[in-house]
Amino acid sequence: MQITRKDVLHVSKLAKLYLNDNEVDKFTKNLSDIVNFADRLNGIDVSGVSPTAAILPLQNVFREDKIEKSMDREKILQNAPEKSYGCFWVKNKIVE
Amino acid sequence: MELHDKTVHELCDMLDNNETTSVELTKACFNRIKDVEDKVQAFITITEDAALKQAEETDKKRKNGEVLGILHGIPMAIKDNMCTEGILTTCGSKMLSNFVPPYTSTAVNKLNTAGCILLGKTNMDEFAMGSSTENSYFKKTKNPWDLNRVPGGSSGGSAAAVAACEAPFSLGSDTGGSIRQPAHYCGVVGMKPTYGSVSRYGLVAFASSLDQIGPFTKDVHDMALILSTITGHDPKDSTSYPREYPDFTKALNQDVRGMKIALPKEFFGKGINEEVKSAVMNVAKKYESMGAKVEEVSMPMSDYALPVYYLIACAEASSNLARYDGIRFGYRAQDVESLDDLYKKTRSEGFGDEVKRRIILGTYALSSGYYDAYYKKAQQVRTLIKKEFDDVYKNYDMILTPTGPTVAFEFGQNSDNPLEMYMNDICTVPINIAGVPAMSMNCGFDSKGMPIGMQLVGKHFDEFNILKLAHAMEKELGLNNKSKL
């Protein structure tokens, strides 16, 4: 299948990435190559085959419903680019 | 032989017999690092002061008769995608170039608790995406056997650190071959354990259904020691498997007579270098002469493993890497117009080329209209690949293959063509798709003196027999695995 610049721009929007013209060209070619390579899967009959998401027979792993000590707020915030009043801080330019 | 040249088990014996101290060992490693690190460039962060302090405390404890475990006082290096509390953990990315984790990953914690000393954090392809460590934001690690060649990837720093004797052992992570392929390129032992046997808690996620932590060591005995320490169920990782994990050192010095080994012809076919092929076939013959039964089998589905791997790994990565938004930790872009602009600018400036490429492929495979054709299809073929492994293991104990199609390649050789770069993973990705354990071990050298790796692939949770067969072959081959660096 042929991937177009339009496809790459659409996907980059979904993935929250800005791409410059060079990157759009390059990724259009790379994505076409990889998708064409992946198209070899089309020859396999998978009717009735259930998909495998995880390899081990583990399902619904629960823990006891009891309160345990969680991480200190300071530790959680120690890597925040900006913080204030014990919260993550983002400038109020977010209103569009 | 100098201290830094020795294996973990030799150093353990020396410590137990009071022939050396942890401080002496740790200093020997840092001296070695000072001598060769300019050339090898294996480390992103070196933690010398903390290590020496920890070594002193470890020695004090030993003096007081308080020995924490077999590995008490042994230095180690850790791939920079495993969280270490208070120590920079970059994942080889600008995105995490300032990230100091508030907690320690379970695998590293187990080694700390056993008394190991952290020397530093090793270089890697950004977010573990690559086969040469050329995708690191920070530096290019060199192969200690030939500094013009790549060490492999993505755990290139951890492999090179052990091959250059900067660290007695190290940890890496393997999503599609990122431990085994650099072990093959650098002539060391590298194991990807069964999915679920080593906790992923605190490992920066790339593709959650494929990622697994494992060791790099100088020999098979060391592999058994480290593996025995890091395996085990962890309530903090819901994909960690609750079962008894054996003492793997019991696999050493065992008879391999009567074991059944399968050679899948697809792993010896097109694209596999002749010298690599003949080194692995030589091993197969030796196993036969040691009394094992070796037979050719066919695994036709493995031809589809590479596209299945790239679709699944990239889809999971695009979802996992959505967390890097510039809000809570990591890099944040400046001068933004809106929240959406903050996200996009942060991610565009913080991620490198290969990471963006894989996010785009993964987002595409998951996007409306393509999900069934690509992601779901890949998961269905995954079922068929896994079944093919199960079928082989009905009649055989082990699968033997080359670890990669060629020996280590030169810098820049594959970096312009992503698809050609991905071909280096052709022998290793089927193993992650099936979730089985596999180990690479040096089994010879090519005409230019570069190491060649063989790969032993076992049943789920059968690392024991991998080590048994590997140890027998290591003794039989008696190779000198030391680079001339």
Least confident span in A56-60, B94-98, B192-196, B270-274 = A56-60
**Chain B 400-429, residues with CB within 8 Å of chain A CB atoms:** 418-419
Q: Decide: B219 and B469 in contact? Cβ < 8 Å.
A: no
Pair type for strands A83-84 and B212-217: unpaired
Average pLDDT over residues A2-10: 94
CA distance B388 to B385: 5
- Res A86 pLDDT > 70: yes
Q: Are strands B398-402 and B451-458 parallel, antiparallel or unpaired?
A: antiparallel
Q: Could you say which of 3.40.50.720, 3.30.70.1380, 3.90.1300.10, 3.40.30.10 is the CATH number of the domain covering B3-255+468-477?
A: 3.90.1300.10
User: What mean pLDDT comes out for the span B408-417?
Assistant: 86
Q: In sequence order, which residues have a C-beta less than 8 Å from that of residue B413 and are 6 or more positions away?
A: none
Q: 3-state SS of B436-451? A: CCEEEEEEEECCCCCE
Determine contact, residues B441/B220, Cβ cutoff 8 Å.
yes
How far apart CA A18 and CA A30 sit, in angstroms, is 17
Q: Is the pLDDT score of A1 beyond 80?
A: no
Average of per-residue pLDDT across B323-343: 95
On whether the CB atoms of residues B474 and B251 are closer than 8 A, the answer is no
Neighboring chain B residues of A61 at a CB cutoff of 8 Å: 238
Partners of A10 on chain B (C-beta within 8 Å) are 367
DSSP H or E segment with residue B350: helix B339-350
- Residue B65's pLDDT is 93
d(CA B61, CA B90): 32
Q: Which of B366, B353, B382, B350 is CA-nearest to residue B317?
A: B366
Of the pLDDT bands very low, low, confident and very high (cuts 50, 70, 90), residue B416 is confident
- Which residue of A31, A75, A81 is in closest CB contact with B332? A81
A61 lies within 8 A of chain B by CB: yes
pLDDT score for B421 = 84
Give yes or no for residue A95 having a pLDDT over 60. no
Q: Within 10 A of B355 (CB to CB), how many other CB atoms are there? A: 29
- pLDDT over 70 for what percent of chain B? 100
* Distance (Å) of CA A95 to CA B62, B227, B337, B338: 61, 52, 10, 7
Count other Cβ atoms within 10 Å, centred on residue A56. Answer: 16
Which residues of A are less than 8 Å from B342 in CB distance?
Answer: 90, 94
Dig out the tokens for B206 from the structure. Answer: 């790339």
Mean of pLDDT values over B326-344: 94
Query: What mean pLDDT comes out for the span B314-336?
Result: 97
Residue with the bigger pLDDT between B391 and B1: it is B391
Lowest-confidence segment of B117-121, B278-282, B336-340 by average pLDDT: B336-340
As a whole number of angstroms, the distance between CA B104 and CA B213 comes to 14
The pLDDT value given to residue B68: 87
Omega cis (within 30) before B240: no
- Tell me, yes or no, if A75 comes closer than 8 A to chain B by beta carbon: yes
Q: Do A27 and B241 touch (CB under 8 A)?
A: no
Cβ within 8 Å, pair A93-B332: no
Over B252-268, what HEC string results?
CCCCCCCCEEEEEHHHH
Q: Tokens 């076919």 identify what position?
A: B269
Mean residue pLDDT of chain B comes to 96
Q: Rounded to an integer, what distance in angstroms lies between the CA atom of residue B100 and that of residue B83? A: 8
Distance CA B105, CA B110 (A): 9
* Strand B75-79 to B117-122 pairing: parallel
Closest CA to A47 of B473, B380, B216, B98: B380
Nearest CA in chain A to B197: A56
One DSSP character per residue, A5-60 reads: HHHHHHHHHHTT----HHHHHHHHHHHHHHHHHHGGGGGS--TTPPPPS-SS----
Q: Considering only alpha carbons, which residue of chain A is nearest residue B435?
A: A55
Cα-Cα-Cα-Cα dihedral sign, residues B210, B215, B216, B220: negative
Chain A closest-CA separation from residue B100 CA (Å): 7
Q: CA nearest B73: which of B51, B95, B91, B90? A: B51
Inter-chain CB proximity B377 and A41 less than 8 Å: yes
Contacts with B415 (C-beta within 8 Å, 6 or more apart), sequence order: B132, B134, B421
Residue B385 CA to residue B430 CA, distance in Å, equals 7
Q: What is the dihedral of CA B152, B155, B156, B162, to 10 degrees?
A: -120
Residues A84, A88: Cα–Cα separation, whole Å: 7
DSSP state of A93: G
Query: Across the interface, which of B331, B367, B378 has its CB nearest the CB of A14?
Result: B367
Q: What is the pLDDT of residue B418?
A: 83
Instruction: Give the whole-angstrom CA distance, residue A86 versus residue B109.
Output: 29
Question: How is residue A49 written in tokens?
Answer: 């085959």
Residue A56 and residue B241: Cβ atoms within 8 Å? yes
Put simply, the answer to whether B327 touches A19 (Cβ < 8 Å) is no
- Per residue in B41-84, pLDDT (tens digit) is 999 999 999 999 999 999 999 999 999 899 999 999 999 999 99
A59 pLDDT higher than 90: no
Q: Token pair for residue B400?
A: 């033997």
Query: Nearest by CB to A8, which of B307, B360, B419?
Result: B360
Question: Taking Cα atoms as reference points, which of B188, B54, B183, B170 lies closest to residue B120?
Answer: B170
Q: What are the domain boundaries of chain B?
A: 3-255+468-477
B24's CB contacts (< 8 A; 6+ apart) are: B3
Domains of chain A: 5-43 (1.10.20)
- pLDDT at position A93: 62
> Is A67 near chain B, with CB under 8 Å?
no
Contact B281, B401 (CB under 8 A): no
Asked if B230 and B247 count as a contact pair (C-beta separation under 8 A), the reply is no
pLDDT in tens, B351-409: 999 999 999 999 999 999 999 999 999 999 999 999 999 999 999 999 999 999 999 99
